[in-house]
């Protein structure tokens, strides 16, 4: 019996690591273009880009690990079933439950690892990534800008830049909007060109505008503006999130479960509905246990389908994953609308797939 259990585990562990590496690499490819653009075109140093790449990895593993676990079960048991090895084992009087229990145990261990990853590692990586991007914006402001889009990364101002020269660190055709508040006209500054003056050690970022016009308040009527032509014009810019990366505030995705629970208590005291934070806490744990659920569902699916082909097994895995995340988004939407408690809504995909997987596994082992 021990030999068979080790055999099942060996057949599962190999495809698990292979699927995890391949899936993670595929997801990394989607970000390589942005990473290469930061190094080649935007002049961001390789060390900073490497840090951002490293911080990105935990978030990718959050999605690739459950998929890899499901794909590994389908690939390993699918091969054993197609080769009639499972039929031979059952014919010899061996109960399959004793052989698949180690797989379920591995699934539970992977789920606990994923919960820790969601609770500790991913929030830290997400927060560190935001701090690094702030530092990049202060040291090399043009690297943080995209031409042709509205940029609201700075306090008070919204920027629209038609062209950014990454090599010369200059801007062409700059529009700056400064909202004045409700029922007040927006102040507008237009310049033919501009350049950033960055002083990283003092956390100071200035924008020098050249040849343009600026709306200036009329002293007699502050609600009105008059046009001021200028040859040079300086604006001090602060990042909307934080000028000092060390004092950068945390978003819900940057918080651990303990920090989220503390924030929930504060919001309740202030009379604010903490529904989004409760959903975030529940999601960290529920998505973590998806590894166990997928393995529980994948075991009977592999034996029933009896497929040896890797492409078909991977197709089944992505189909199940797709259904899971569609259900998760749908139930989360119901939770945000107040139609379902978030503690129930976020767990429903796990519960439904777990019931199906448990029923099929019970029938498989009882047969």
pLDDT of residue 245: 46
Sign of the torsion formed by the C-alpha atoms of 209, 34, 54 and 281? positive
pLDDT of residue 346: 94
pLDDT of 292 higher than 90:
yes
Tokens of 41: 């075109």
Q: Is residue 183 classed exposed, middle or buried when 0-12, 13-18 and 19+ CB atoms within 10 A define those classes?
A: exposed
How far CA 209 is from CA of 149, 168, 233, 313, in Å, comes to 19, 15, 5, 58
Q: Alpha-carbon distance 100 to 136, whole Å?
A: 50
Residue 93 DSSP label: T
Domain definitions of the chain by residue range: 2-138+252-366, 154-238
Sign of the torsion formed by the C-alpha atoms of 295, 301, 306 and 311? negative
Question: Do 74 and 317 meet the contact criterion of CB atoms below 8 Å apart?
Answer: yes
Mean pLDDT, range 219-243, rounded to an integer:
75
In a 3-state reduction of DSSP, which class is residue 179?
A: coil
Over the stretch 62-73, which tens digit does the pLDDT of each residue have? 999 999 999 999
From the list 110, 28, 115, 24, the residue with the least C-alpha distance to 69 is 110
183 or 327, which is more confident: 327
Over the stretch 336-349, which tens digit does the pLDDT of each residue have? 888 899 999 999 99
220 or 94, which is more confident: 94
Total number of residues shown for the chain: 367
Tokens of 276: 């989004």
222 or 218, which is more confident: 218
Q: What order of strands is seen across the sheet that includes strand 150-151?
A: 150-151, 158-165, 170-178, 187-199, 204-218, 221-237
Q: Is residue 130 classed exposed, middle or buried when 0-12, 13-18 and 19+ CB atoms within 10 A define those classes?
A: buried
Match 């439950």 to its residue by tokens: 97
Over the stretch 187-198, which tens digit does the pLDDT of each residue have? 889 999 998 877
Reported as a pLDDT band with limits 50, 70 and 90, residue 244 is very low
- E strand intervals along the chain: 150-151, 158-165, 170-178, 187-199, 204-218, 221-237
Question: Do 358 and 364 meet the contact criterion of CB atoms below 8 Å apart?
Answer: no
Mean pLDDT, range 266-292, rounded to an integer:
90
In a 3-state reduction of DSSP, which class is residue 367?
A: coil
44 or 62, which is more confident: 62
How many CB atoms within 10 Å of residue 227?
10
pLDDT of residue 243: 45
């Amino acid at each position: 019996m021990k030999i068979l259990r080790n055999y099942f585990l060996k057949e599962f562990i190999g495809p698990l690591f292979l699927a995890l590496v391949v899936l993670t690499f595929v997801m990394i490819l989607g970000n390589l273009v942005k990473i290469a653009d930061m190094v080649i075109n935007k002049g961001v140093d390789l060390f900073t880009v490497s840090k951002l790449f490293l911080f990105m990895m935990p978030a990718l593993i959050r999605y690739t690990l459950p998929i890899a676990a499901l794909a590994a079960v389908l690939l390993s048991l699918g091969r054993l079933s197609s080769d009639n090895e499972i039929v031979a084992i059952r014919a010899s009087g061996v109960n399959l439950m004793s052989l698949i229990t180690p797989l379920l145990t591995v699934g539970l261990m992977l789920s606990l690892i994923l919960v820790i990853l969601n609770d500790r590692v991913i929030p830290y990586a997400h927060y560190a990534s935001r701090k690094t991007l702030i530092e990049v914006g202060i040291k090399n402001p043009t690297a943080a800008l995209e031409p042709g889009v509205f940029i609201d990364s700075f306090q008070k101002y919204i920027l629209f830049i038609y062209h950014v020269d990454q090599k010369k660190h200059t801007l062409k055709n700059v529009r700056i909007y400064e909202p004045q508040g409700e029922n007040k006209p927006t102040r507008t500054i237009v310049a033919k060109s501009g350049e950033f003056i960055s002083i990283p050690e003092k956390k100071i970022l200035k924008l020098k505008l050249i040849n343009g016009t600026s709306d200036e308040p009329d002293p007699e009527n502050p609600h009105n503006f008059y046009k001021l032509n200028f040859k040079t014009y300086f604006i001090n810019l602060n990042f909307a999130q934080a000028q000092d990366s060390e004092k950068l505030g945390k978003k819900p995705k940057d918080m651990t479960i303990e920090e989220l629970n503390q924030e929930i208590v504060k919001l309740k005291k202030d009379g604010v509905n903490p529904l989004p934070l409760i959903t975030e806490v529940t999601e960290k744990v529920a998505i973590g246990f998806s590894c166990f659920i997928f393995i529980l569902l994948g075991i009977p699916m592999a034996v029933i389908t009896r497929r040896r082909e890797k492409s078909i097994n991977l197709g089944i895995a992505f189909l199940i994953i797709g259904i899971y995340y569609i259900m998760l988004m749908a139930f989360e939407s119901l939770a945000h609308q107040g139609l379902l408690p978030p503690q129930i809504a976020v767990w429903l995909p796990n519960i439904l797939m777990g019931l199906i997987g448990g029923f099929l596994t019970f029938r498989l082992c009882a047969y």
